[in-house]
Amino acid sequence: MLNILNDSTKLKRLGDASKDNTLSTEVKLQKRFLRLHKSIFISEDTYERIRPVGSQRPGMYGLPKIHKDGVPLRPILSMIGLAQHELAKWLAEILEPVLNKLSSNCTADSFRFASAMSERECSPQINFLCSFDVTNLFTNVPLDETIQICADMLYCSTLTPPAFPEKIFHELMELATKSVSLIFNNEMYQHAMGSPLGAILANIFLGFQESVLFTRVTKPFRYWRYVGDTFLIFKYRHEVSEFSLHLNNL
């Protein structure tokens, strides 16, 4: 677990538990949301919903990946009680049209995937099945780039934009995702992307990259993705290496 936490490209060590900034973050958010409400950028109902009260610092723990060599840990961040938690949930609703527009290649769960597979005719003689996995997806999503993708989709496309300016959208997204503090073993760390928006932003980022990819290369015979895992069917095995190269370059 310490190997994960000591990765300075993903987390910043703040010190012991005395460095906890949960209360100051709560007060900062309360004041900012109140100003936005008085400026009529957010309604009273929204203000009451996202205003943090009684915030708690999130904790991190690890779940062992028993199917992988060395049994590495998957870091899990418990976000319940986080000062930004309700803000992130509200923004997730705003981002839902963006997510839907970029989810044409996604499957919702294993049942729908199995159903889709059963509807496809595949000949073992001319088809090759494989999968690709994004390495450490959640900690590797470029946050600023993904927020800009969301903003462009909401404010510069056919989607209906939120009732507040794009500048406010950027600010709210950064408040919800950046500088989230967490505790592990009585030590405080700062995480760049710890919030309920994590999975949504990861899906949006990958969905956007897929839209770019398939303008450059021919789409495989079949292509499904669930978050960072993809399952593909190619007509011929030799197509796999070329497609893998395009993925890694992207």
> Mean pLDDT for the chain?
88
- Residue 136: pLDDT over 90: no
15-57, pLDDT tens digit by residue?
888 878 888 999 999 999 999 999 999 999 999 999 999 998 8
Q: Is the dihedral of CA 206, 135, 130, 234 positive or negative?
A: positive
**How many domains are there within the chain?**
1
Q: What is the pLDDT of residue 48?
A: 96
Main-chain dihedrals φ then ψ at residue 73, nearest 5 degrees: -100, 145
**DSSP of 101-125, one letter per residue?**
HT-TTB-SSHHHHHHHHHTS---TT
**3-state DSSP: the chain helix, strand, coil percent, rounded to 5?**
45, 20, 35
Distance CA 59, CA 110 (A): 30
Residue range of the domain that includes 218: 2-249
pLDDT given for residue 145 in this prediction: 95
Backbone angles phi, psi at 89, to 5 degrees: -65, -40
- The stretch 126-136 carries a mean pLDDT of 86
- pLDDT reading at 75 higher than 90: no
Which amino acid is it at 84?
Q
Residue 73, helix vs strand vs coil: strand
**What is the pLDDT confidence band of residue 180, given thresholds at 50, 70 and 90?**
confident
Weakest mean pLDDT among 16-25, 30-39, 95-104, 166-175: 16-25
Cα separation, 199 vs 134, whole angstroms: 13
Give me the pLDDT at residue 194, please: 54
Q: Is 231:127 a contact under the CB 8 Å cutoff?
A: no
pTM confidence score:
0.86
Contact residues for 99 (Cβ-Cβ < 8 A; gap 6+): 200, 203, 204, 207
13-27, 36-50, 109-123, 202-216: the lowest-pLDDT one = 109-123
